[in-house]
Amino acid sequence: MITFENVGLRYGMGNEILKDLNFRIAPQSFQFLTGPSGAGKTTLLKLILFSLKPTRGMISLFGRDAATLDKDAITSLRRRIGVVFQDFRLLDHLTTYENVGLPLRVQGREEATYRAEVVELLGWVGLGERMHVLPAVLSGGEKQRAAIARALIVRPELLLADEPTGNVDPTLARRLLRLFMELHKSGTSVVIATHDLALMDQFDGARRLVLGDSRLHIYD
């Protein structure tokens, strides 16, 4: 599903912040991406999403070489990916319910066909009573859960989540992890960036991709 071959990234004329990245992520796999703060976890997720271009090397997603794709092709591939970044990216003029249902609306589905799905998922992430409020009213943790629900609602082939449990309490973190596990069991490949060792220890079957000293180390 994802292939990195000799990928490196630098900004300007500085040293490479990521170097010699060689790894593959298989369909229906589950992995944690970890490493110290500033190691480049978010940057690596952006490379996977094609929102950053590598300085060297090759990245392919769903069998397509990023270097050969135009904007329309990249947009089409991104529709197969669910993304949770730390800045949430909720639309301020839409309610929680509308934000979560937006990807389905963009797909052309009528609201009557997806309302029950959105309501059920909002209940799962603990936002059932907050579905009709605007993002400005939500706490940081609630915004994070709304962003997670929006990423999951389309049942993506690939989920990229950057510190998805960073603003929630341990009980809710475990519940969200179970949700990611169920998504994985249904066929989605999952990549979760986190520094939470306790969270990772709850899922023994996951690979660990560890960033350190600009390089990636893989532990199966």
Q: At a CB cut-off of 8 Å and minimum separation 6, what does 120 contact?
A: none
Rounded CA gap, 163 and 117, in Å? 24
Specify if 213 maps to a domain.
no
| Count of domains for the chain | 1
Task: Report the 10 Å Cβ neighbour count for 86.
Answer: 16
Specify if 137 maps to a domain.
yes
Per residue in 68-99, pLDDT (tens digit) is 989 899 988 988 999 988 788 899 999 999 99
Specify if 68 maps to a domain.
no
Q: Which domain holds residue 142?
A: 91-155
Rounded CA gap, 160 and 52, in Å? 15
At position 120, the amino acid (one-letter code) is: E
Specify if 139 maps to a domain.
yes
Rg for the chain, CA atoms, rounded: 17
SS3 of the chain: CEEEEEEEECCCCCCCCEEEEEEEECCCCEEEEECCCCCCHHHHHHHHCCCCCCCEEEEEECCEEHHHCCHHHHHHHHCCEEEECCCCCCCCCCCHHHHHHHHHHHCCCCHHHHHHHHHHHHHHCCCHHHCCCCHHHCCHHHHHHHHHHHHHCCCCCEEEEECCCCCCCHHHHHHHHHHHHHHHHCCCEEEEECCCHHHHHCCCCCEEEEEECCEEEEEC
Contact 189, 157 (CB under 8 A): yes
Per residue in 33-66, pLDDT (tens digit) is 999 988 999 999 999 998 899 999 999 999 999 8
Specify if 10 maps to a domain.
no
Q: What is the pLDDT along the chain (220 residues), one digit of tens a residue?
A: 899 999 999 998 888 999 999 999 999 999 999 999 889 999 999 999 988 999 999 999 999 998 898 989 998 898 899 998 878 889 999 999 999 999 999 989 999 999 999 999 999 888 999 999 999 999 988 998 899 899 999 889 999 999 888 777 888 788 888 888 888 888 999 999 998 888 888 777 789 999 999 999 999 8
Specify if 56 maps to a domain.
no
